[in-house]
Each structure stands twice: as structure tokens, then as C-alpha cells.
Amino acid sequence: MAAKSSTADTARDGLRFISGALAGIAFLALLWTSVDMAAVGALLARASWPPLLPALLAYAFDFLLRAWRFRMLLDPKGQRVPLRPSVAPFVASFGISDILPFRLGDVFRVYWFHRRFALPMGHVLGAMVVERVLDLVSILMVAGLALSLVDSAVPDEILTQIRLVTVLAIAASLFVLLSPRAIEAAAGWSERRFALPLVVRLADAARSLAQAVRGTGDPLRVLGMVLLSFALWLLESLVMLGAWVSLGGALPDWSKPLVAFAFSTLGTLVPALPGHFGSYEFFGMLSYRAVGVAAEPATAIILLAHVMLWLPTALFAVGWLMTTRREAPLLALRAQ
């Protein structure tokens, strides 16, 4: 029975990878056929490098704070997980996922923190789930802020609907983070009302999320984590701003790259190639077009920003894995 389950999981992972790869290739093909890539290349060749240095420094500081946040999610009292030895594997986990399929960086992170600090795997996984919900609500908040500031070419009716959906999504995410008891009650009600296998699985997932949120601390502490996460995404958005200024964008128009950053990041929820190549570029270009930026400059800015976001973590992961002497967690996990 276990062998059948393992085979089914492998097939499901393979199908997910293939669908993501096809979607990413399709997005890149759409971009390639709808934009003058020669003009994009010429713009990138003229990029000014000084604005990129502070953007990369902000990105490095962003990851340091993200590592601290994850450590606080794992160990609210700061007694079991010291910060210093946890930063490098935390950053490396992102680089692994940016290079390899199947979100192997997440597998690496769960196993590494479990092995290094003797934490239950379920505890590490629960902290990662809360981290993802925090990131979702925070990037939605960034999107809401950007939409409130920018003058868009999108019709007012459509823009109003986008803002409404954004507000509702933020409210739902905050409800999940601040009301674990309500989530458990809703899960129990759903199971009793709809006796379907899918509903049961969703209810179990909701209970696991509620338990992970409860382990994070009281609602006031969770709200502080939300505000910290919002600040982290604003800090990361400076990479897009740096690319914008580097390629000739005016600094007073900073709300335009903020819109593109928010919606290109949300676009990574759509399956794509490892590193989110395809979806990030496509939705970023559409976002820039919506705020009145021409297709070629928009594509050049998105490509430059994406390389700046992808390359440092990917190189760090490769370098750290090659120079750190220990048993490779990914190989050890596959052997179990």
C-alpha cells in the first residue's frame, strides 16, 4: 500500500513539474513573440549599474531579516534555534528551489532544521506554512498600497474590482492568521456538513494550519509578524526600483515598479519553470503595461530585476553546499 502511495506521489510530482515547465515555456514564448527582444537587449546593454548596488544590499538585508523571522516562527522564545547557524541554510533553501524542480529547497529546509536542531519535521513544516501565509497577506498589502498610489491606464471599473478582490484576500488571510479557533471550528463544520474526501483533506489541512498559527504566539505577536513581513516585501521591492532607475525610469514614479513588483510576485503562484521563470516576466510585463510603460522597457526592467532576485540566492546555494562539510540532507532524505 505504501509503495502504491509513493508511486502516486512521484507521478503527481512529475505531472506538476511537467505542467509547470510547459506553463513557464508558454509564458516566455508569449513574451518573446509579443516584444521586440532586440530592443530589450539594447536597453539592457545600456543599464546603469550604480542604482543596482543599494538594491542588492537591501535584498541581502531582506534575507537576513527573513531568516530571523523564520527562526522566531520556529522558536518564539529563542531558546532552541540560534540565529547565526540558521541564516545560511535558510538562504540556501531558496537557491535550491530556484535551481531544482519539485520545490526541493523546501524539502532541504525541513530536513536540515529537523536534523540540526532536533525539531520535529511537522513543527518545521508548520512554521513554513505560517511563513507562506504571512508572505501572501503581506504581498497583497503591497499590491493594495501600490494600486492606491498609481495612476493606471486600466479602466476604473476593472481597477475597482481588483482592489476589492485584494482587500477581501487580505481580510481572509488575516482571519486565518489571527483566528485559529475559528479556522478549526469552520473545518469541523465543513466535515459534518459535507462528508466528501476532498472536504476532509481540506479540513485536516486547515487544522494543521491553525495549530501552526497557534504555536506562533498570541494574536498581537502574529500581527507584529504581519507588519514585519509587509516591511520585508517593501524592502525586496527596492530590487525592482533599482532596475527601474538603472534603465532610465524616473525615481518620482516609484509607484509603477511597486505595482509591477507586487503583481509579478503574485504571478509566481502560477506554475512555471524553477526560479519562477516565465510567470514572473509575463505578469510583470503586463503590470508595467497597465501603468503606461512600453512593452520593451517593461520587459527589460523585469528581466534585470528577476536576474537580481534569482542569481544571488542560486549562487549562494551552490557555493554553500559545495563548501559546507556535512551529510547532504537531500540525499539522506531520499535514502529514507
**pLDDT of amino acid 329:** 47
CA distances from 157 to 152, 227, 231, 288 (A): 12, 30, 30, 19
Query: Higher model confidence: residue 224 or residue 58?
Result: 58
Q: For 146-162, give one letter per residue: b (16+ CB within 10 A) or e.
A: bbeebebebeeeeeeeb
**pLDDT of amino acid 335:** 40
Are the beta carbons of 240 and 301 closer than 8 angstroms?
A: yes
Q: How confident is the model at residue 299 (pLDDT cuts 50, 70, 90)?
A: very high
**Is 198's pLDDT higher than 90?**
no
Span 168-179, pLDDT tens digits: 778 877 777 777
174 grid coordinates: 488575516
Domain ranges of the chain: 53-335
Computed over every residue of the chain, the mean pLDDT equals 84
**pLDDT of amino acid 13:** 58
Are the beta carbons of 233 and 69 closer than 8 angstroms?
A: no
Distance spanning both ends of the chain, measured CA to CA: 17
CA distances from 171 to 12, 136, 144, 193, 283 (A): 32, 11, 12, 24, 24
**pLDDT of amino acid 270:** 81
Residue 292: half-sphere exposure toward Cβ, Cα within 13 Å: 9
**Is 120's pLDDT higher than 70?**
yes
Are the beta carbons of 283 and 261 closer than 8 angstroms?
A: no
**pLDDT of amino acid 21:** 76
**pLDDT of amino acid 301:** 97
Q: How confident is the model at residue 330 (pLDDT cuts 50, 70, 90)?
A: very low
Span 55-111, pLDDT tens digits: 999 999 999 999 999 999 988 777 788 889 999 999 999 999 999 887 899 999 999
**pLDDT of amino acid 179:** 77
**Is 288's pLDDT higher than 90?**
yes
**pLDDT of amino acid 106:** 93
Mapping DSSP to helix (H, G, I), strand (E, B) and coil, where does residue 231 land?
helix
Q: How confident is the model at residue 156 (pLDDT cuts 50, 70, 90)?
A: low
**pLDDT of amino acid 27:** 84
DSSP 8-state assignment for residue 273: S
Q: What share of the chain in percent tops pLDDT 70? A: 88
Classify residue 69 by burial, with Cβ atoms within 10 Å: 0-12, 13-18, 19+: buried
**Is 290's pLDDT higher than 70?**
yes
**Is 10's pLDDT higher than 70?**
no
Query: Higher model confidence: residue 298 or residue 148?
Result: 298
Average pLDDT of the segment spanning 282-304: 93
Are the beta carbons of 244 and 301 closer than 8 angstroms?
A: yes
**pLDDT of amino acid 240:** 98
Average pLDDT of the segment spanning 278-284: 92
Going by C-alpha positions, the residue among 216, 209, 206, 235 that lies closest to residue 69 is 216
Q: What share of the chain in percent tops pLDDT 90? A: 45
Query: Higher model confidence: residue 5 or residue 58?
Result: 58
**pLDDT of amino acid 197:** 77
Classify residue 164 by burial, with Cβ atoms within 10 Å: 0-12, 13-18, 19+: exposed
Average pLDDT of the segment spanning 33-45: 94
**pLDDT of amino acid 333:** 43
Span 11-38, pLDDT tens digits: 565 666 677 778 788 888 888 888 999 9
